[in-house]
Amino acid sequence: MAAVRISSRSGLPSLLVYLGIGIGMGADGIGHIRFDNAELTQIIGYAALVVILAEGGLGTKWKEIKPVLPSACALALLGVATSVAVTAAGAHYLVGLDWRPALIIGAVVSSTDAAAVFSVLRRIPLPARVKGTLEAESGFNDAPVVILVVAFSTTGPVEHWYTLVGEMALELAIGAAVGLAVGWLGSSALKHVALPASGLYPIAVMAIAVTAYAAGALAHGSGFLAVYLAAMLLGNAKLPHWPATRGFAEGLGWIAQIGMFVLLGLLVTPHELGDDIVPALLIGLVLTMVARPLSVVVSLLPFRVPWPEQALMSWAGLRGAVPIILATIPMVNGVDTTHRIFNIVFVLVVVYTLVQGPTLPWLAGRLRLGEPQEAADLGIESAPLERLRGHLLSVAIPEGSLMHGVEINELRLPAGSAVTLVVRDGKSFVPLPTTVLRRGDELLVVTTDPVREAAERRLRAVGRGGKLADWLGADGPGEGRHGRGR
């Protein structure tokens, strides 16, 4: 918890703080703990990555990534292939590595880290297209990269490229089908079955996400793609007690990141890194200044993305713990020069995370891609009333919400829903139609099942547009007949 606080106040990427803790506990630190079990690190890293992808999928808004889904898939497939080829060529010709370790390093570092991207981008007010593309790419590209690293790390000859492409396409297709199926079945079940305690809903959601990973892996598909897609379906399904579920998932995501980074810090031996610092810096320079920009340009060529957005996406190819975890795969498989591969990847990730992460908000400002903050959205939590076929909506009016100053009758909720209670300054009362709402109020809204979604949409619209919500449209600014084109 202290490390989280230090990271947030200092502006340093959390990766470096947790890695520093692990190094300090390790053989070269004050803890003198000797740890060299790469296989255990890989297993725990995979488990942590499943939780991180699940948390990221639960927080991904379908309306943001739907318009950019083709470009995100292009970055996750064609972009990764371009980045692997260019980075491997740089490692081979500039550093002198053989082609197998060069290809392994190229594949390992070509995946953007989901945890790093989610944590950084959600604090920067970027255009929806840029933010959605980067989030979806980071969720999708782990799957093909893992397949490539495993293929390059086999002890036998590397398969022909067309065989590798075919196997990758099959694994991705199976993983996508399993993830969508598990996510749809799980969300349908949670919508129609009232669990006896609200605390069971977060556990059920995470259990469904992990089940998607397990089912995808057992079906010889991509479990990482399955868990991300299943979690994304669950996150956009308007499930009961959603704020509690999101908070629970974020807590698990923090635990996964902290544990994973500390363990990776324990695994590294700092005094062995000296000979690999310069090669790591050269490969990282090729990756950051050539491979990533080229992969963005090639992948987004059909979509006519403006160059400032392409420039930001090129710099936002953040790396984190995932490449370091993937670097343990050749160690477990017994590939030659595995320790050098691990050391190069470790140094590259640490240095370029320190460079890219803190400078990303500055670059967004220089490119004039920052957007003004919208009115704060409402936090609505739903509890199902199974026997009455209704719902209780708990609505909190935050600072910045334009619902402040709106009368109850101006909410114009659909027939079948009503505000039944207001809690203000610790006291509750039944509101009148002329009661004026204030920031900090908590509302209890009763709605029947058929109009629940309409009631939520109306509440959110008033939260964004205030008394002008009718003129701005059902979804707030920019969506209505009078607000379109703003």
Buried b or exposed e, range 64-94, using 16+ CB within 10 angstroms: ebeebeebbbbbbbebbbbbbbbbbbbbbee
Q: Would you state the pLDDT for residue 314?
A: 92
CATH code, 2-366:
1.20.1530.20
CA distance 31 to 354: 25
Smallest CA-to-CA distance from 253 within 426, 8, 459, 50 is with 50
Is there a contact between 231 and 56 (Cβ–Cβ < 8 Å)? yes
pLDDT at position 483, please? 39
CATH 3.30.70.1450 range(s) for the chain read 379-472
Q: How many whole angstroms separate alpha carbon 70 and alpha carbon 78?
A: 11
Could you give the 3-state DSSP secondary structure of residue 393? strand
163: exposed, middle or buried (C-beta count within 10 Å: 0-12, 13-18, 19+)? exposed
Which listed CATH number (3.30.70.1450, 3.40.50.720, 3.40.50.2300, 3.40.190.10) goes with 379-472?
A: 3.30.70.1450
Rg for the chain, CA atoms, rounded = 24
For residue 431, the tally of other CB atoms under 10 A from its CB is 20
**Tally of helices (H runs) and strands (E runs) in the chain:** 22, 5
pLDDT value at residue 213: 95
Q: Let me know the angle formed at the C-alpha of 106 by 101 and 110, rounded to the nearest 5 degrees.
A: 150
Residue 447: both structure tokens together: 């709605």
The pLDDT of residue 122: 63
pLDDT for 484: 36
**CA distance linking residue 438 with residue 440, whole number of Å:** 6
> Where in the chain is CATH 1.20.1530.20?
2-366
Asked if 149 contacts 331 with a C-beta cutoff of 8 angstroms, the reply is no
Lookup: tokens for 14: 């959390």
CA distance 232 to 59: 7
Cite the beta strand spans of 264-378 per DSSP E. Answer: none
pLDDT value, residue 61: 84
What's the confidence (pLDDT) of residue 473? 52
| CA gap 299, 195 in Å, rounded | 45
pLDDT tens by residue, 52-70: 899 989 988 888 888 889 9
Of the candidates 181, 162, 188, the one whose C-alpha atom is nearest the C-alpha of residue 221 is: 181
Q: In the prediction, which pLDDT does 423 show?
A: 92
Average pLDDT per consecutive 10 residues, the chain (486 residues; last block may be shorter): 70 72 85 85 90 89 87 91 94 92 92 73 75 85 86 72 80 93 94 82 95 94 92 90 87 87 86 89 94 94 90 86 84 80 90 84 82 56 62 86 90 90 90 92 89 89 81 47 36
Give pLDDT, residue 154.
Answer: 78
